[in-house]
Amino acid sequence: MAAVMLCQIDKGKQLKMKVAIVGATGEVGRMMITCLEESNLEISELDLFASSRSAGTVLYYTDQPIKVQELKQDSLLKHYDYVLFSAGAGVAKTFAPIAIQTSEVVIDNSSGFRKEPNIPLVVPEVNGDLLTGYSGIVANPNCSTIQIILPLAVLDKLFNLKKLIVSTYQSVSGSGHQGIVTLLNQRQGKNDKGVYPHIIDLNVIPQIGGFLDSGYCQEEEKMHFECRKILNKWDLLVSATTVRVPVIYGHSVSVYAEFENEVDIPKSEKTLQNSPRIVYYPNTYITPLDLGSSNETHICRLRLGTDEKSLTFWNVGHNVRLGAAANAVNILITHSKYSGRL
């Protein structure tokens, strides 16, 4: 079971921060609270917001009870150093512009701002330099994009990535808590499809999001765009097939990558082993059940693809941690370092 790891913090240099979380009672919102606890940040004030249905819920931060407030039009008019959103694109589009009027940085986990040209889409270990001197909205990428882009950025620097073909095996928690409920209900014999177009128990569904005119579904199109934007390689050829599988936590991805230059397996292995937030397995493989509370991306079965200019590997990551909450908190930490708060 892999250990929890977030960006390292020098506690002696910290300034206390005011932080808010919107969507705090959801699957990712609760994990954001956990990741903030694990980061050892000095937070002087933590406000939690959710819909009227969840308002009044008591959650805990470092064993201290915090009552969740209802999100209203004036909720975010006070100053925060950071506001974390995990409440869907519609809520983010409505409330993030309000929050940014009085707060320094808004970090949004939804797809609402990822395509905006002037809003950075950030995985700190890959393009965290975009946060230097920045204030405004920061977009947190799609879960599957985050876990593959960490090793791909490393390999791109070595061999110059030009084509990417991926197939994902995405857990039901990627659909939020209702995805988990749907699977567990079906495992108990209920035939309600829940949040999915087909039964997910003992099945796989090759569709995540609606289908587009291109024949790709929304999740696939997200991966196409986001890989290009994060790597700043707009001519990158990408084809994704995204599949929902009956796993509670942990997304898996089969990756095939082609490069301009001939690849070197030993060099690839050594570089991956020495890269942040990557765990490399040279002689075995990892499954979603092995992830535990890991905030890293896990790479195994690295091998040549169709020729000496291509690689294939298996990739597993905790979608609620690495693919959402932990990356959002690492964006916060990275920005805090650049801004002198840490």
Tens-digit pLDDT string for the chain (342 aa)? 444 556 556 655 678 999 999 999 999 999 999 999 999 999 999 999 999 999 999 999 999 999 999 999 999 999 999 999 999 999 999 999 999 999 999 999 999 999 999 999 999 999 999 999 999 999 999 999 999 999 999 999 999 999 999 999 999 999 999 999 999 999 999 999 999 999 999 999 999 999 999 999 999 999 999 999 999 999 999 999 999 999 999 999 999 999 999 999 999 999 999 999 999 999 999 999 999 999 999 999 999 999 999 999 999 999 999 999 999 999 999 999 999 999
* Residue 251 annotated as catalytic: yes
The pLDDT value given to residue 13: 67
112 and 43 belong to one structural domain: yes
151 and 287 belong to one structural domain: yes
Q: Minimal CA–CA distance to 40: which of 9, 15, 17?
A: 9
Domain assignment present for residue 313? The answer is yes
Q: What SS3 state is found at 326?
A: helix
- From 35, 143, 217, 227, the catalytic residue: 143
- From 7, 217, 227, 251, the catalytic residue: 251
Q: How far apart are CA 79 and CA 104, in angstroms?
A: 8
The answer to whether 25 and 59 have CB atoms below 8 angstroms apart is: yes
128 and 223 belong to one structural domain: no
Express each pLDDT in 166-194 by its tens digit. Answer: 999 999 999 999 999 999 999 999 999 99
Here the CATH number for the domain that contains residue 235 is 3.30.360.10
The answer to whether 21 and 46 have CB atoms below 8 angstroms apart is: yes
86 and 165 belong to one structural domain: no
Q: How far apart are CA 177 and CA 179, in angstroms?
A: 5
Alpha helices (runs of H) in 234-292, residue ranges in sequence order = 265-273
Counting Cβ atoms within 10 Å, is residue 3 exposed (0-12), middle (13-18) or buried (19+)? exposed
Domain assignment present for residue 4? The answer is no
The pLDDT value given to residue 14: 77
- Look up residue 56 and give its two tokens: 């009044």
Domain containing 251: what range?
144-319
Domain assignment present for residue 251? The answer is yes
The answer to whether 295 and 322 have CB atoms below 8 angstroms apart is: yes
Here the CATH number for the domain that contains residue 121 is 3.40.50.720
* Residue 143 annotated as catalytic: yes
203 and 235 belong to one structural domain: yes
Query: What amino acid is encoded at 42 in this protein?
Result: E
The pLDDT value given to residue 316: 98
- Look up residue 53 and give its two tokens: 């249905």
300 and 284 belong to one structural domain: yes
Domain assignment present for residue 172? The answer is yes
47 and 72 belong to one structural domain: yes
150 and 123 belong to one structural domain: no
Give the total number of structural domains in the chain.
2
Domain assignment present for residue 5? The answer is no
Q: How far apart are CA 249 and CA 292, in angstroms?
A: 9
291 and 334 belong to one structural domain: no
Q: What SS3 state is found at 10?
A: coil
153 and 108 belong to one structural domain: no
30 and 102 belong to one structural domain: yes
Domain assignment present for residue 81? The answer is yes
Domain assignment present for residue 282? The answer is yes
Count Cα neighbours of 85 within 13 Å in the Cβ-side half-sphere.
Answer: 30
Starting at the edge strand found earlier in the chain, the sheet holding 251-259 runs 237-244, 161-170, 251-259, 310-317, 297-304, 278-281
328 and 313 belong to one structural domain: no
The answer to whether 20 and 48 have CB atoms below 8 angstroms apart is: yes
